[in-house]
């Protein structure tokens, strides 16, 4: 079990309490054993593991009626971390500190009770798989594994990433061969059961070829390979891929492709617009719409300046810009993390709501 606590006030960092197998027995009783405390720096985005031991003295009893949100079903598990009720800004809670029984409650955000396991599919020719793993595992601190393209099962994963690259050398047509890899049958089943699937660049092309997203990719309008920063605008936030963003938010994210010119027929475009499936559009840096033949804003000439879309069910999404390459300020932008954080928040939020419904 993993519990994330987002601290407030002076700390302004997130804590991940990863309880090892030696603590499981204690968790089921009235004590907590050793665990690892990982502190996430809001400036560097890196975790520092620190061993911590918690004494077994139980905290003051807290009536169930004062427990809020996800914490409602975890008080028996973490006797030294019991929310006492809502206070301060929306989403915050008073929580008993871990180190002593009689201390004053601290302000912290609601507990997160589980981690999100990502799978990153690795095709022959993928070249952004390690970038995606780094962004997810190192920067977000979520478990992530590479999945070889010949794998036929995706059991145990909460979200799947199809990364960028040049799968099978982009022969025939980008994504046209990769869509026949054994793993894509598993991806289709995973998506059909409601699992989250994100395709980035070549991954987006593969999702289009596999029929998991509508439309097709053409060569860039000026027939040049493009590799530079672009600006995209978040059009809708009611999806698992954009929920942590603001509608109208401008993200600075790089592209690197030859076939990124999105196209679909007029009926499909009308459907995408009507169902709010266009998640990202290429725009100018100040958020203004791209004008016709405005290749500075819409570099590949995509129809309606479309940079990313989602499925009708909203659990499959694809975009040409690379969020995993915009994950740290040293890369020129960390805007891409909002997409991955949205996925984490969507999955943990769903799990917490499901658990609360059983209380």
Active site members: 201, 322, 324
Q: Residues 230, 195: contact at Cβ < 8 Å?
A: no
């Amino acid at each position: 079990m993993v519990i994330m606590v987002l601290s407030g006030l002076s700390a302004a960092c997130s804590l991940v309490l990863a309880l090892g197998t030696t603590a499981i027995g204690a968790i089921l009783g009235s004590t907590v054993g050793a665990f690892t405390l990982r502190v996430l720096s809001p400036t560097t985005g890196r975790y520092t593991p620190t061993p911590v031991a918690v004494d077994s003295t139980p905290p003051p009893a807290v009536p169930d009626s004062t427990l809020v949100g996800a914490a409602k079903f975890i008080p028996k598990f973490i006797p030294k971390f019991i929310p006492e009720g809502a206070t301060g800004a929306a989403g915050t809670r008073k929580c008993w500190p871990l180190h002593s029984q009689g201390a004053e409650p601290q302000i912290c955000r609601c507990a997160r009770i589980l981690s999100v396991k990502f799978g990153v599919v690795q095709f022959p020719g993928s070249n952004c798989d390690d970038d995606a793993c780094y962004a997810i595992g190192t920067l977000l601190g979520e478990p992530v594994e590479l999945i070889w393209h010949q794998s036929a099962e995706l059991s145990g994963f909460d979200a799947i990433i199809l990364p960028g690259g040049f799968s099978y050398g982009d022969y025939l047509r980008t994504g046209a061969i990769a869509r026949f890899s054994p793993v894509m049958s598993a991806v289709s089943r995973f998506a059909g059961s409601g699992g989250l699937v994100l395709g980035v660049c070549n991954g987006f092309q593969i999702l289009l070829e596999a029929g998991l997203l509508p439309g097709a990719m053409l060569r860039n309008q000026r027939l040049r390979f493009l590799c530079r920063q672009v600006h995209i605008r978040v059009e809708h936030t009611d999806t698992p891929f954009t929920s942590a963003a603001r509608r109208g938010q401008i993200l600075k994210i790089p592209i690197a492709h030859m076939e990124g010119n999105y196209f679909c027929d007029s009926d499909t475009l009308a459907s995408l617009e009507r169902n709010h499936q266009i998640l990202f559009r290429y725009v100018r840096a100040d958020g203004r719409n791209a004008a016709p033949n405005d290749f500075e804003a819409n570099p590949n000439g995509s129809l309606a300046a479309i940079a990313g879309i989602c499925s009708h069910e909203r659990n499959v999404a694809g975009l040409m810009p690379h969020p995993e390459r915009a994950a740290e300020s040293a890369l020129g932008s960390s805007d891409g993390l909002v997409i991955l954080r949205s996925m984490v928040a969507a999955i943990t939020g769903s799990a917490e709501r499901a658990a609360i419904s059983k209380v």
